[in-house]
């Protein structure tokens, strides 16, 4: 990547026009060098306007992460995390999984301003451009084995919901096992990847994508209804405050998860489930669809559904839950 690309994007972050000449002077380079760096931004999918006589501007202001504000929002929980901020990464989960394998510390949080190949479950894609979505992954090391972590994505959902509530977002809900919805539109997704022995210790990379501001062109490329924090609030979300708040709640929820198990969080999760007691359909890996009424979750985070065949339990694995209207 061109070393000037992100410094230039930071100059353009306020969404105002900056002339190529002024930016060239600022960095002590030629206008052609500025142009080349912006071409590089374009290849990363960053859109900008270029107007003769005025210069360049981004379509919208971009709120870059500020480590100081993240730490302020983390408060006393700040000591539990170390932040690793990146301008651009293909996938924060992939990056952190590799670092976890070579001994990265508990609490390491990798954040990408621009994630170009974000992943969902089973090869699906998390779409995000610069400033569109807060994309980060946290490494959490557990003494127990990976087998005991089946409720972890649900616990993470609770942390996200507590943070959203603190940030003034109402009417959000959880969709089993790993999504945050707002009025049936997806606001955030969670992707957990585990490593380690079945008997322990184990390590979890907890990946989160939380939409900040999805432009119309991006919304159209997402194959389900989606929304973002800016559409829900009266003022633009400060990504640093959002990140600090999510991490602080994550630390609190994971402490409870480790000390008391997922069972202690189960009632809170069910109260937040968007489809609790609603008709749902489960898409099975073999293509079958099973319909029923979502009826809570088990102590290991499995979904319980009242079906024609009786009460059935579904482990997250390869099952996808859909609402039946």
Chain contacts with ligand ATP (rule: CB under 6 A):
120-121, 124-128, 133, 178-179, 186, 189, 209, 211, 222-224, 226, 320-321
**185 catalytic residue (yes or no):** no
Q: How far is CA 305 from CA 157, 277, 319, 322, in A?
A: 20, 9, 13, 12
CB of 132 to ligand ATP, least distance (A): 7
The structure tokens listed for 70 are: 């993240």
> Hey, which residues does 304 pair with through a beta bridge?
313
CA dihedral over 206, 212, 217, 223, signed as positive or negative: positive
- Other beta carbons less than 10 A from residue 238's beta carbon: 19
Q: Do 90 and 126 touch, CB atoms closer than 8 A?
A: no
**175 catalytic residue (yes or no):** no
**31 catalytic residue (yes or no):** no
Q: Which is nearer to ligand ATP, 81 or 314 (CB)?
A: 314
CB of 269 to ligand ATP, least distance (A): 16
Q: Which is nearer to ligand ATP, 19 or 312 (CB)?
A: 312
CB of 154 to ligand ATP, least distance (A): 12
Q: Considering the candidates 57, 99, 306, 322, report the single residue annotated as catalytic.
A: 322
* CA pair distance 177, 170, nearest whole angstrom: 20
Q: Considering the candidates 121, 175, 185, 266, report the single residue annotated as catalytic.
A: 121
Q: Which is nearer to ligand ATP, 51 or 284 (CB)?
A: 284
CB of 178 to ligand ATP, least distance (A): 5
Q: Which is nearer to ligand ATP, 137 or 178 (CB)?
A: 178
* CA pair distance 83, 81, nearest whole angstrom: 6
CB of 228 to ligand ATP, least distance (A): 8
- The bridge status of strand 310-314 relative to strand 202-211 is unpaired
Give the side-chain half-sphere CA count within 13 A for 37: 22
Residues in the chain, overall count: 325
Q: Considering the candidates 119, 186, 248, 266, report the single residue annotated as catalytic.
A: 186
Q: Which is nearer to ligand ATP, 127 or 240 (CB)?
A: 127
Angle at 134 between CA 164 and CA 15, to 5 degrees: 110
Residue nearest to ligand ATP (CB): 120
CB of 47 to ligand ATP, least distance (A): 16
Query: 177 preceded by cis ω (within 30°)?
Result: yes
In 3D space, the residue among 301, 294, 80, 93 whose CA is nearest the CA of residue 207 turns out to be: 93
Q: Which is nearer to ligand ATP, 58 or 190 (CB)?
A: 190
Beta carbons within 8 Å of 30's beta carbon, 6+ residues apart = 24
Active-site residues, by number, are 121, 186, 322
């Amino acid at each position: 990547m061109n070393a000037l690309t992100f410094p230039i994007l930071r100059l353009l972050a306020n969404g105002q026009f900056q002339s190529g000449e002024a930016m060239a002077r600022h960095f002590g380079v030629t206008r052609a060098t500025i142009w080349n760096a912006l071409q590089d931004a374009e290849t990363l999918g960053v859109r900008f306007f270029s107007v003769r006589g005025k210069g360049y501007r981004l379509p919208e202001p971009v709120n870059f992460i500020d480590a100081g504000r993240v730490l302020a929002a983390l408060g006393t929980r700040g000591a539990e995390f170390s932040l690793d901020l990146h301008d651009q990464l293909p996938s924060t989960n992939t990056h952190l999984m590799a670092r976890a394998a070579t001994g990265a510390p508990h609490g390491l949080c990798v954040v990408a301003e621009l994630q170009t190949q974000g992943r969902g479950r089973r090869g699906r894609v998390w779409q995000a451009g610069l400033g569109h979505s807060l994309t980060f992954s946290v490494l959490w090391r557990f003494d127990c084995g990976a087998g005991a972590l089946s409720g972890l994505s649900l616990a993470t959902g609770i942390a996200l919901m507590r943070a959203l509530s603190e940030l003034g977002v109402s009417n959000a809900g959880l969709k089993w096992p790993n999504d945050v919805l707002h009025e049936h539109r997806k606001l955030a997704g969670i992707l957990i990847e585990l490593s380690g022995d079945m008997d322990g210790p184990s390590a979890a990379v907890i990946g989160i994508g939380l939409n900040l501001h999805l432009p119309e062109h991006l919304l159209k490329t997402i194959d389900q209804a989606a929304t973002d924090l800016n559409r829900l609030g009266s003022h633009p979300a400060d990504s640093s405050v959002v990140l600090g708040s999510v991490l602080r709640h994550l630390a609190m929820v994971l402490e409870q998860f480790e000390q008391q198990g997922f069972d202690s969080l189960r009632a809170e999760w069910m109260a937040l489930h968007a489809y609790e007691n609603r008709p749902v359909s489960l898409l099975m890996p073999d293509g079958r669809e099973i319909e029923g009424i979502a009826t809570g979750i088990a102590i290991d985070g499995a979904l319980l559904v009242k079906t024609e065949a009786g009460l059935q339990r579904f482990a997250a694995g390869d099952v996808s839950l859909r609402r039946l209207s």
